[in-house]
Amino acid sequence: MAVQGVFASDQNIAGTEKGDFASAILQVHPTGSAPLLALSSGMQSSDIKSVVTTWFEENHLAGYLLVTNAAGTGTTLSFSAADISELVAGMLILNQATGEYIFIDSISGLNATVTRGFGGTTNTSISATDPVQIITTAHEEGSSKPTSIANVGYPRFNYMQIMRDSWDATGTAKAVAYHTGDVVAKNMADAGIFHAEKIEKAFLWGKKTIGTLNNKPFRTMDGIVNQITTNTSSQTTNTQWEDIDAFLQTVFERNIKGQPNERIAFCGNTVLGVLNKIAQLDGVINLTPGQTDFGMKITKWMTPYGDISLLTHPLMNENPLWTKEMYVLHPGAIRVKYLRRTFHDANDKDGSRAGADADYGVYTTEATIEYAGELTGGIYTGIDTAAAS
């Protein structure tokens, strides 16, 4: 379990790595403004030696295909290039609308020559855009090697981003007594929290680009919100349970291989209020308050499709648009990669540096984030007002 009470999709243990900035945020400031960064201490992370990280995503081949020609009762079915790549001779497919089983005899280009009415089923007319479902393969005794199918996947990439925040304290400021205590310690702590917030915002809302700044290489990363493009919904009317239910079905259709089908969701207070109101109106949402050992306040949301750990995000509550949004993520798909893990370059000489009546320090992190399973997440925006079904 990565972070007790939050999710179980990774085997890392949070808070054990010496000098881990994310672990420190989780332990020292768990209910602060950077919960994703804090939780990343228990997610997959790695150190790499490149300013670009690349990964491949493979989608499960569900075998749900669309016929592209008006085949009628004929023996030639046409498919798109993507769909035909899933078909080989010897496959048995089903027209679920009519109950007809169809056997694939051969493939040529985008066309499949087939045997209709297989197994005594009725040969029923097929129109363009009718769906069929791959069921299985069947071959005769002593058959030759069938055509192979490969799930090649597709590449994705993100850039490393350098994030820096500094603190300083003049000799005069250090000499003055403050009710808040040591001014250097306070300024250092504030800079650390500001740095965590900058990382948090980049991880969630960053936008990828590459170029030069001041004649030197410059890169920014895509945050998770910009990496999830398939399962996105925008609410334009009052939110009903049917709207949320349709969204959750698409999010839970895919899972990370070998991991529990669970999700973690970040939202604003407006979204949480809408969910609670729908629970009162329809009684179809099961929300249970909970809290982890690290002090992060979690609401457990038991859905028909899987469990969600729901967290209200402080930064989302401060923004009038973000407070109406919900990001449902698979924790096992989130991977943080570091070129340079967070380090503190302190120049605190207690006023003893020649010619300088001030001390200062800089926090620097060079990192990126990847969401390696785009179809397992979803972005839902515009959740404002609840309505009964």
Residue pLDDT, tens place only, 145-178: 888 776 666 788 999 999 999 988 877 777 776 6
pLDDT, average across residues 310-336:
93
**Axis-axis angle for helices 21-28, 183-205 (nearest 10):** 110
Residues in contact with 97: Cβ distance below 8 Å, sequence separation at least 6, in sequence order? 130, 131
- pLDDT, tens digit, 9 for 90 and up, residues 11-23: 444 444 445 677 6
How much is the pLDDT for 359?
Answer: 82
The Cα angle at residue 376 between residues 371 and 377, in degrees rounded to 5? 70
* CA dist., res. 351 & res. 369, Å (int): 39
The DSSP letter of residue 144 is: P
Strands 76-78 and 64-66 turn out to be unpaired
Structure-token match 């028909």, residue found: 304
Contact by Cβ (8 Å): 340, 364: yes
Q: Which two tokens stand for residue 358?
A: 């001030």
Question: Residue 242 is inside which H or E element, if any?
Answer: helix 241-252
The DSSP letter of residue 180 is: T
Nearest to 114 by CA among 124, 127, 125, 101: 101
In sequence order, the β-bridge partners of residue 45 are: 336
pLDDT, average across residues 127-143:
91
DSSP codes of every residue in 191-232 = HHHHHHHHHHHHHHH---EEEEETTEEEEE---HHHH--SSE
* CA dist., res. 36 & res. 313, Å (int): 9
How much is the pLDDT for 5?
Answer: 46
CATH of 21-57+156-381, one of 3.30.70, 1.25.40, 2.40.10, 3.90.1690: 3.90.1690
Which region holds residue 258: left if phi is over 0, alpha if psi is between -120 and 50, else beta? left
The Cα angle at residue 195 between residues 48 and 193, in degrees rounded to 5? 130
How much is the pLDDT for 30?
Answer: 55
Contact by Cβ (8 Å): 335, 372: yes
Higher pLDDT, 124 or 146: 124
* CA dist., res. 295 & res. 342, Å (int): 23
Strands 76-78 and 154-159 turn out to be unpaired
How far lies 12's CA from each of 9, 55, 266, 330, in Å?
9, 21, 21, 15
What is the tally of helices (H) and strands (E) in the chain? 9, 21
Which range among 91-100, 143-152, 196-205, 217-226 shows the weakest confidence by mean pLDDT? 143-152
> Which pTM value belongs to this model?
0.76
Q: Which two tokens stand for residue 79?
A: 């498919």
* CA dist., res. 319 & res. 46, Å (int): 32
Length of the chain in terms of residues written? 389
**Axis-axis angle for helices 269-282, 241-252 (nearest 10):** 110
R_g (Cα) of the chain, nearest Å: 27
How much is the pLDDT for 288?
Answer: 81
